[in-house]
Amino acid sequence: MNTKFKAVLKLGTQTPDGKVTLCQNITNNIVANPTYFPTASLPLPVTSMTSCVNNLHNAILATASGAAGSISNMHEKERILTSVFNVVRAYVEMQANNTTDPQTVIQAAGMIASKSSGGASVSELTIAALGNGVLQISVPRQTGESAFIYYYSSDNGNTWQEFECSKYATVQLKNQTPASTLQFKYVAIGKTKGAFSQTKSAIVL
């Protein structure tokens, strides 16, 4: 990868209440450190980040009161919060690795700084928004797979465009419009062409 440090959220290990607390703390830290995180460069307005936190908090309260449909609504708000703050995480990582002290910048956002091994393998389709309209796509390589065909969609998977056929398990899609959402999938090629992978989405930074 192009980054020296990774920003780690660990949202998957948090309860819904824990996610509210963590994401509110991250939002507060970003607002408190405009030198590292200028308002004009944020991928999402602070009001949108705060709204996602408040929506999950309110959904938790509704679930506790036993309101009809509240559990499914809470999980939906939880998924939205996770998606939004994964975008924020990618932004913090990008900002950090454009400085001489990325670890301090990541920690200033209330996230955990982890050294990137550079050549770490992945177990599933993984997308990283690197900034400046560039997305990096990494896929696992299984025994017998010699190449990969990469596809993206800009209309929620209704139409797909092949953008690269490569022997490499990590490629980049460049010159995309910041703030747009793209979907990705791939096919591995061995002795025969495999099946399509799962689809994943990413917001361009």
pLDDT in tens, the chain (205 residues): 445 788 888 887 889 999 999 999 999 999 999 999 999 999 999 999 999 999 999 999 999 999 888 999 999 999 999 999 999 999 999 999 888 889 899 999 999 888 765 555 577 888 888 878 888 898 988 888 999 999 999 999 999 999 999 999 989 999 999 888 999 999 999 988 889 999 999 888 8
155's tokens: 């209309």
Query: Domains plus CATH for the chain?
Result: 5-115 (no CATH), 126-203 (2.60.40.10)
Say what the pLDDT of residue 120 is: 53
Report the distance separating Cα 116 and Cα 8, nearest Å. Answer: 11
Prediction pTM value: 0.58
Say what the pLDDT of residue 204 is: 87
Say what the pLDDT of residue 116 is: 63
| Residue of 198, 177, 176 whose CA lies nearest to 187 | 198
**DSSP single-letter state for residue 177:** P
* CA 173 remoteness from chain centre: 15
Which residues are CB-neighbours of 35 under 8 A, at least 6 positions away? Answer: none
Run of H or E including 103? helix 102-108
